[in-house]
Amino acid sequence: LQDSAEYPLSLGTQPWRRFRAGFCELVAAVVRRCQYSVVYDEFLMDALISLLTGLSDSQVRAFRHTSTLAAMKLMTALVNVALGVSLHQENNQRQYEAERSKGPSRRATDKLEALLEKRREV
Q: What is the mean pLDDT of residues 10-36?
A: 86
Higher pLDDT, residue 115 or 73: 73
Distance CA 77, CA 82 (A): 9
pLDDT tens sequence across 24-44: 899 999 888 888 887 787 888
Distance CA 34, CA 71 (A): 17
Q: What is the mean pLDDT of residues 96-105?
A: 83
Compute CA distances 11 → 3, 82, 118, whole Å. 15, 33, 48
pLDDT, position 45: 83
Higher pLDDT, residue 103 or 18: 18
The model's pTM is: 0.74
Q: What is the mean pLDDT of residues 83-99?
A: 90
**Element at 67 (helix H, strand E):** helix 61-101
